[in-house]
Amino acid sequence: MKASDFLYHRPESVPQVLGLLRDYAGGARILAGGQSLMPMMNLRLWRPAALIDIGRIPDLERLEQKGDVTILGPRFPYWRIENDRVIAERLPLLARMVRKVGDRQVRNRGTIGGSLVQADPTGEMPLGTLILGATIHAESIRGRRAIPVEQYFLGSYATAIEPDEMLVAVEYPRHPAYFSFAEVNRRHNDFAVVSVAVAGDRAADGTWHNLRIGLGGVDETPVLALAAMRRGEGTLLQAPDIAQMGILAAEHIDPPDDFRASADYRRHLTRVHLTRVLGSMLASAGFREE
């Protein structure tokens, strides 16, 4: 379990990173917290020709507030998502979900950018970012572009980021007023068997709007449960609504069948936990389930 040979660079600025990325033409990887990258390299599953360590570049851990919008730098660490008061107020779903990421050691080093580039289909930050409808900003020598999160995850450990691009910022729009989250693990903070997150706003008449329902561990990428979202949008989320949303969500996924759980069981858990999570979101809005 020793990595194969690679070159190591520690540039001082983002333009230098972009130059190196171009020079290696897809052969280089960016090193931030290293919590996913280093194990993959030590197992020799990934063999980058070079590592580009962005650890010394100033300003990549920034947290910007622009009206309702919150922007995180690529090296914004998990531990700050977990502990920062601004995050607790502005992105409470992420603060809640990050506690299910790895262990304390991983959270001390891992970063939001690293997690989104890794794109683990069971990952908490990818799912949370999807639910919150964020925009991913990527930059290369060719220029800068904004990728809506719905178009960002392309497959298991695959994203829309091109080999010469660097993820430079994650932009979160206004956070919905209510949210809830549940995750099933085989053991404490293991990869999710199934994770379910919901968020939405409630109008004065009690109807729910901007509903977002996301599922992790049930497909190649984190997914939005679109049919269930449509079914719930504008309703009071009464018991029959919720029951049907659970069924719809379970019908529209293609969960893996592996030693963590069977596809059947993941489908079942998705239905049960979506109904429970919706129930707890309702409860957080002052409603009690009948």
CB of 26 to another protein, least distance (A): 22
Q: How far is the CB of 188 from another protein (least distance, A)?
A: 4
Minimal distance, residue 136 CB to another protein, in Å: 27
Q: What is the CB neighbour count within 10 angstroms for residue 91?
A: 24
CB nearer another protein, residue 193 or residue 198: 193
CB of 261 to another protein, least distance (A): 6
**Euclidean distance between CA atoms 263 and 251, whole angstroms:** 12
If the CB atoms of residues 39 and 206 are measured against another protein, the closer one turns out to be 39
Q: Order of strands, edge to edge, in the sheet holding 208-216?
A: 178-185, 192-202, 208-216, 223-224
Q: Name which of 43 and 226 has its Cβ closer to another protein.
A: 43
- By beta-carbon proximity to another protein, the closer residue of 2 and 85 is 2
Minimum Å gap between C-beta 10 and another protein is 21
Using CB under 8 A as the criterion, which residues of the chain lie in contact with another protein when the complex forms?
A: 1-5, 39, 43-44, 103, 184, 186-191, 259, 261-262, 265, 268-269, 272-273
Q: How far is the CB of 147 from another protein (least distance, A)?
A: 29
Comparison of 74 and 102: residue with beta carbon closer to another protein: 102
What 8-state DSSP symbol labels residue 111? B
Where would I find the H helices in the chain?
Answer: 14-24, 37-42, 78-83, 85-90, 92-97, 104-109, 112-118, 124-131, 226-232, 239-251, 263-284
Nearer to another protein, 137 or 260 (CB): 260
Instruction: Give the dihedral sign, CA 159/160/163/167.
Output: negative
Q: Please state, in angstroms and rounded to a whole number, the distance separating the CA atoms of residues 87 and 82.
A: 8
The Cα-based distances of 117 to 25, 74, 85, 126, 199 in angstroms read: 17, 10, 25, 9, 24
C-alpha span between 64 and 67 (Å, rounded): 10
Assess contact for 64 and 70: CB atoms under 8 A: yes
- Residue number, 1 or 204, with CB nearest to another protein: 1
Question: Which CB sits closer to another protein, 39 or 234?
Answer: 39
With H, G, I as helix, E, B as strand and everything else as coil, classify residue 84: coil
- In whole angstroms, how close is the CB of 254 to another protein at the nearest point? 18
Tell me how far apart the alpha carbons of residues 31 and 52 are, in angstroms, rounded to a whole number: 6
- Shortest Å distance, C-beta 275 to another protein: 10
Residues constituting the chain:
290
